[in-house]
Amino acid sequence: RIVYVNGTYLPENEAMISIFDRGFLMADGVYEVTSVLDGKLIDFAGHAKRLERSLNELDMPRPACLPDLLEIHRELVRLNGIEEGMIYLQITRGAPGDRDFVFPDPETCMPTVVLFTQNKPGLANSPVAKTGIKVISVADQRWARRDIKTVQLLYPSMGKMMAKAAGVDDAWMVEDGMVTEGTSNNAYIVKGNTIITRHLGNEILHGITRAAVLRFAREAQMHVEERSFSIAEAQAADEAFITSASAFVMPVVEIDGAAVGAGTPGPVAARLREIYLDESRKVAV
């Protein structure tokens, strides 16, 4: 696989990053994951915009020296012949000469920019979308700025391990009795004709797929409520699902051992998945 590091396309085993990189030492970096369908980027503009916001929130404003990211995404997809899969982009504050809590002078610091692809044939036609996934609830013990897409993924990773130990697919995180989001996705329930998902704030990542799916839902005259909900309300819902750039819309059929609705994927999630895939393919770049 060919990867991109700081201006160079090279084989993955030749790519190198300094041990002083602040991404490595301090999780001082941000990332984006964009899916690729038909060899094209899905929702790229949304991911680019959120990346810019994450950088700004961390006083790591997009340096003038940052390369044209769309161009690099496209070139890497081409070099690796990706038809269906994902592309990962990470930007860290870079590698000053030594470990220091103080940010390096923004004038001298060059960010570390890394991109790599993941080939996932059959991503859109995932058989899991037909059976749905099971989740457990876990306490949300992440930091308080989850709206910034940092590479600080230790707690979400621990959440996935708790899910694995419980024999299920993922975990929904709960804070003050309310669901925040999944370990790497936004969480939704459906009751009657209403789609319910947590309102935006610092407590959750502002999902790019979330924004698109809510827009398509409203355009299709579905009713949307942006508010928090509890695990008990989710277990009593007609349907549940998650969204993310790599899972698109994925039904959730069981929460903490209780079946949601009939315990099988529901019609609203299936319809939203279809609309999302159709519409985003049309405008892919």
- The one catalytic residue in 49, 120, 130, 149 is 149
Longest dimension (CA), the chain: 58
Rounded to the nearest whole angstrom, what is the least distance from the CB of residue 182 to ligand PMP in the complex?
7
Nearer to ligand PMP, 137 or 185 (CB): 185
Give CA–CA dist 34/89, Å, rounded. Answer: 8
Count other C-beta atoms under 10 Å from residue 128's C-beta: 12
Please spell the DSSP secondary structure of 94-158, one letter per residue.
---SS--SSPPPTTTPPPEEEEEEEE-TTSTT-THHHH-EEEEEEE--S-S-TTS-BS--HHHHH
Rounded to the nearest whole angstrom, what is the least distance from the CB of residue 218 to ligand PMP in the complex?
17
Nearer to ligand PMP, 79 or 284 (CB): 284
Rounded to the nearest whole angstrom, what is the least distance from the CB of residue 206 to ligand PMP in the complex?
8
List of residues 6+ apart from 201 with CB closer than 8 A: 147
134 is catalytic: no
Q: Quick check: helix, strand or coil at residue 232?
A: helix
Nearer to ligand PMP, 99 or 215 (CB): 215
Our measurement of the distance from residue 236's CA atom to the centroid of its chain's CA atoms, rounded to an integer in Å, reads 26
DSSP label of 229: -
**Nearest alpha-carbon partner for 148 in 256, 228, 30:** 30
Nearer to ligand PMP, 77 or 89 (CB): 89
Rounded to the nearest whole angstrom, what is the least distance from the CB of residue 63 to ligand PMP in the complex?
23
Residues in the site for ligand PMP, rule: CB under 6 A? 33, 181, 184-186, 205, 207-210, 243-245
Residues annotated as catalytic are 149
